[in-house]
Amino acid sequence: MELSCSIVNKIVWTREIGFKFLIAKVTELFPLPSFPHLFPTLSTTTYLFGRCGRWSSIRYLSTFAQQIEPTTRSRPEPIPIKHEPPQTRPQPDPYLLVAPELTHIRKNMLNLLGTAHPDLADIAEYYFLQPSKQLRSLLILLFSRATNGLGRNWERKHWDAACEASSGQSEELDRPLALSNVLNEWNPSMPDHTESFGSVFTLQQAVPRLEHPPPPPSSPLTRAIPGIISLPCLLPTQIRLAQIVEMVHVAFQLHEGITKGSEAESSSMQSMGFGNKLSILGGDFLLGRASTALSRLGESEVVELVASVISNLVEGEFLRMEEIRTPELGVMCGPRSVLSAWELYLRKTYLRTASLVAKGARSAVVLGGCREGDIWKEVAYAYGRNLGIAYQLLEDALDIKHMQPGLATGPALFASEECPRLVPLIQRNFTGEGDTELAVEYIQATSGVERARLLAEAYADKARDVLQLLPDSETKIALEVLTELAVKRSW
């Protein structure tokens, strides 16, 4: 038996080529046992190796396991994996965030424009009570919410607003700085004959404004985390600023309907019974009321910003006009080249559209307590500038079929690169007979409109990039949504 095991051990290590032949020879020396019913799965190789030391357990268990596995163990079914789409956080609606304030602005506008003349009251009701997107007011309110609490002077601003509310002076902004009869009436108390000037007459004195006590010193925790103690809110001055900006915008809409001479605007005014003269006077009246309300905000920087907007709008209107006649210079010609036309067009776009948005947003941040050196003022201005330019670029692309004589817009300037026949039309501001119809035909045959859309989206992307400097908040997301709505026009 010891000799047999020695033979088998040598056989195991032989090459694979003669394996079957050697197994057959060994089987003659060691036949299988006579009770196969006890070892139904035992092969010759397993039996032989099992009798020879170290291979017995390995070979037997391996062969036996292969035979019984299909009958004793069932393969488990794989667990199905559900691939659910990633849940996106719902985006806030910009209008819903400040809906109460927008409603207040619309309702209180007529009180701010109060006048004794019925025609001026009709103009105010026509423009301020009809449905409107209130885009400029919305942007000012949202930027106020996004930056309140960040300025170095926020605590003082918040304290003043709280003092006015607690003392019942919530309408402090409606109180005139001068005597009401001096501002709005024809001064019945003033002497109107020579004898009265020879004697002393009674002078009326304005009621002095109450000075608010200084705010309590803030704790280190409040200075470190301004949003923990009291959440930033909208100040009354910021809401009033939104009203003022809307008044300035509507005033220039009235003037634009006269200078632009569009058929739609003229027919709308005629149907309401507003002539050109009344429209001009109505716009002037709105600007006067806006200036009065502006002086009560108490911020000289804001007064300067909004006042400069009025002059910007006038400058932009001069650039837009098809021709300007002066006694000394005569008729001023259009741009000499397409490059200079681009420069004039972008300057006009800023002056007539983006300046009101940019300076309005900056003014809102100033009223929230930001001072010189605070980055939030620059963020507000840059955002408003880029968004305003993007808005006007898209407006010009959508309104190409109603083209009028005047400075060339983005689609025409882009189209001139593909259609050189547009260049002489651009140089004379489309003042020739049939120039506008011919220009529309040329533009529609090129990619000018699409390229203008892409340029608008590029400016909108710049506006979104600027917003990344603001702290994360729901209002910041709402500003991003507003940017998308303004460019896509999906109101």
Tell whether 338 and 257 lie within a shared domain: yes
- Residue that wins the pLDDT comparison between 157 and 78: 157
Answer with the one of 72, 105, 127 that is the final residue of a domain: 72
Q: Is residue 411 part of a domain?
A: yes
- Residue that wins the pLDDT comparison between 412 and 59: 412
Question: Which segment, 10-19, 156-165, 400-409, is predicted with the most confidence on average?
Answer: 400-409
Tell whether 380 and 289 lie within a shared domain: yes
Residue 212: predicted pLDDT: 58
Q: Is residue 210 part of a domain?
A: no
Residue 431: predicted pLDDT: 87
Tell whether 7 and 108 lie within a shared domain: no
Separation of CA 47 from chain center? 83
Tell whether 122 and 252 lie within a shared domain: yes
State how many domains the chain has.
2
Tell whether 122 and 49 lie within a shared domain: no
The residue-averaged pLDDT of 216-220 equals 51
Q: Is residue 366 part of a domain?
A: yes
What pTM did the predictor assign? 0.71
Quick check: 105 pLDDT over 60? Answer: yes
Q: Is residue 461 part of a domain?
A: yes
Quick check: 424 pLDDT over 80? Answer: yes
473: its two tokens: 């908040």
Quick check: 56 pLDDT over 60? Answer: no
343: its two tokens: 């420069």
Using CA atoms, how far residue 43 sits from 31, 40, 59, 68, 441, in Å, is 11, 8, 10, 14, 93
pLDDT bracket for residue 52 (50, 70, 90): very low
Tell whether 449 and 479 lie within a shared domain: yes
pLDDT bracket for residue 58 (50, 70, 90): very low
**Which region among 138-147, 159-168, 392-401, 427-436 has the lowest average model confidence (pLDDT)?**
159-168
Using CA atoms, how far residue 2 sits from 25, 28, 307, 401, in Å, is 17, 17, 116, 109
C-alpha span between 346 and 389 (Å, rounded): 8
Task: Tell me which residue has tokens 């201005």.
Answer: 381
Q: Is residue 88 part of a domain?
A: no
Tell whether 59 and 115 lie within a shared domain: no
Tell whether 483 and 343 lie within a shared domain: yes
Tell whether 364 and 272 lie within a shared domain: yes
* Under 8 Å between Cβ of 292 and 247: no
Q: What is the pLDDT of residues 119-145, one digit of tens each?
A: 777 777 776 666 567 889 999 999 999
Tell whether 112 and 45 lie within a shared domain: no
Tell whether 379 and 427 lie within a shared domain: yes
Q: Is residue 199 part of a domain?
A: no
Q: Is residue 78 part of a domain?
A: no
CATH number at residue 339: 1.10.600.10
The residue-averaged pLDDT of 256-273 equals 54
- Residue that wins the pLDDT comparison between 151 and 382: 382
Q: What is the pLDDT of residues 289-312, one digit of tens each?
A: 899 899 989 899 999 999 999 999
Q: What is the mean pLDDT of the chain?
A: 75
Instruction: Give the residue numbers spanning the domain of 31.
Output: 2-72
Q: Is residue 224 part of a domain?
A: no
Tell whether 50 and 119 lie within a shared domain: no
pLDDT bracket for residue 61 (50, 70, 90): very low
pLDDT bracket for residue 192 (50, 70, 90): low
C-alpha span between 66 and 222 (Å, rounded): 74
Q: What is the pLDDT of residues 315-364, one digit of tens each?
A: 998 888 755 555 555 555 678 889 999 999 999 999 999 999 999 999 99
Paired with 324 in beta bridges are 332
